[in-house]
Amino acid sequence: MTTEQSSFTVSRTTGPPPPPFPLRKAWLVLAVVFIAEIMDLIDSSVANLAGPSIRADLGGGPMTLQWVLTAYTAAFALGLVTSGRLGDLLGRRRLFLLGMGAFTLASLACGLAPNPGFLIGARLLQGLFGSVMIPQGMALVKVVFPPQHLRRALMPFGPVMGLATVAGPILAGWLLHLDLFGSEWRSIFLINVPFGVAATLLGLRVLPHRGGETPGARLDLTGVALLTVGSALLIVPLIQGRDLGWPLWTYLMMAASIVVFALFVVSERRSAHPVITPTLFRRRSFVVGLLIVGGFYASLSAFVLVINLLLQLGLRWTPLRTGLTLIPWAVGTAVAVLLAGAVLAERLGRATLRIGLAVATVGLLALWWSTAHWGTGLTAGQLAPSLFLTGFGAGLMFVPLFDFILGDSTAEEVGTGAGMLNAVQQFAGAIGVAAIGTVFFSHAARGTTHSYLTAAQLVFGICAGMYVLTLLLVGLLPKHAQQAH
């Protein structure tokens, strides 16, 4: 449940007002953007449930699974850093159609992958072109709707994305269970193709040729290159280190990533067109917000990975049974998203974030107790209450988090700040899968049900601890959300 948040905040542009756009076509533009958002949201999550099936079919070890998941989120994060600015340079319509078409082709490549390396490469392309597509779509929606209709147009996003969150695990489990034409796990990627083709063809007809581009925009290629290299130097050893016995080069790469990130900071300070607005780092709320986003999404991504692996590899449940078991988590998330967006964030302020983190922590500790108490006799009914609490707590965070972090930012800082937070969100998810996933596989190395249960309990405890740390940081955020100003 990550893309929904980015869809509200990632692109805020300035420039001359566009000419009037027919309202009927504006709703068709919204439909195209909806399809893009849902494709990205589902595609970023269904691979968690299909991971064991992919591994059984294509081979490879735990490292392969981590790469299949991390490749998408890491590429998406790195692409988000520059995609908004590229939209200003190259045109948002052009980039949206490029992103949608290439995302569809990459989904086809994933579905036809003959080996793990090919699949990982295709997932990288999926993430990259997804990051190109998503920010342009929301910018186009804001251009085609007049102010008096924009709020009504954006209202369905919460319910639709919440429904997609609920449907994702069920859809993945159902497709794996049906095994359409012997496709096994491949159908979860191939299903994107007809929707992507339809959305691309419709987009060619209805998307506006002007999308709120900013005249005179520039791209700091040096900063983008340093950020990309530093991120790769960190993620690669975290994923491969355990399987290879942590050779010297893994430590050297992680040390080098620190140096490269430092060079990025220096480059940003000297650049006339920095990737990140420098004044943001003078704001306590933004710096603290980066830590909150990092801790929360790293824990969330690790939890989603581990609960799927525990149920399928540890307890030997089928993908369909696993997907159905996760319904309480998805329902809790969807309900909380609706409450936070419609009621709680406005009435309770940043206390909404504290409540969310506290409830999610209780849910994780309840999961820890459930797996320790019932062990191999664990049932879906016994997991349901703790899964609902975990999902409900996380759902309270999704919609309002960025708005509180940017609560004291200026209008000039909001667009860049939201894009940076989105990138950190995705990158943290990749790090969570890489780092905490490595801890899980280390303790589940024997492959027995007991070892999987023990490893999952450790991860649930780590994630709960990280939620508590982020909870303590929430008090440093502004009391009111950004849109309240």
Same domain, 73 and 197: yes
Is residue 324 predicted with pLDDT exceeding 80?
yes
The per-residue pLDDT for range 69-100, each reduced to its tens digit, is: 788 888 887 787 777 677 777 888 889 999 99
Same domain, 212 and 87: yes
Same domain, 61 and 117: yes
How many C-beta atoms surround the C-beta of residue 215 within 10 A? Answer: 8
Among candidate residues 318, 45, 306, the one with its CA nearest the CA of residue 173 = 318
Same domain, 47 and 184: yes
CATH of the domain at 54: 1.20.1250.20
Domain end (from 231, 252, 272): 272
The owner of tokens 């027995």 is 448
Give pTM, 2 decimals: 0.78
Same domain, 436 and 352: yes
Helix, strand, coil tally for the chain in percent (to 5): 85, 0, 15
Domain end (from 172, 195, 218): 218
- The count of structural domains within the chain is 3
The owner of tokens 């392969």 is 64
Domain end (from 272, 307, 339): 272
pLDDT band at 458 (very low <50, low <70, confident <90, very high): very high
CA torsion sign for 166, 168, 169, 175 is positive
pLDDT band at 337 (very low <50, low <70, confident <90, very high): confident
Among candidate residues 40, 64, 57, 272, the one with its CA nearest the CA of residue 135 = 40
Same domain, 424 and 445: yes
First to last CA, the chain: 27
For residue 313, the 8-state DSSP code is I
State the average pLDDT over residues 279-301: 87
Q: Give yes or no for a contact between 2 and 429, defined as CB atoms under 8 angstroms apart.
A: yes
Is residue 470 predicted with pLDDT exceeding 90?
yes
Same domain, 41 and 153: yes
Among candidate residues 481, 459, 412, the one with its CA nearest the CA of residue 12 = 412
Could you list the residue range(s) of the whole structural domain that residue 9 is in? 1-218
The per-residue pLDDT for range 164-192, each reduced to its tens digit, is: 666 666 777 777 777 777 777 888 888 88
Same domain, 262 and 125: no
Same domain, 128 and 177: yes
Among candidate residues 160, 198, 170, the one with its CA nearest the CA of residue 3 = 160
The per-residue pLDDT for range 7-49, each reduced to its tens digit, is: 334 444 444 554 567 778 888 988 898 888 888 877 776 777 7
CA angle 66, 69, 73 (to 5 degrees): 125
Same domain, 232 and 156: no
Same domain, 187 and 40: yes
Same domain, 125 and 164: yes
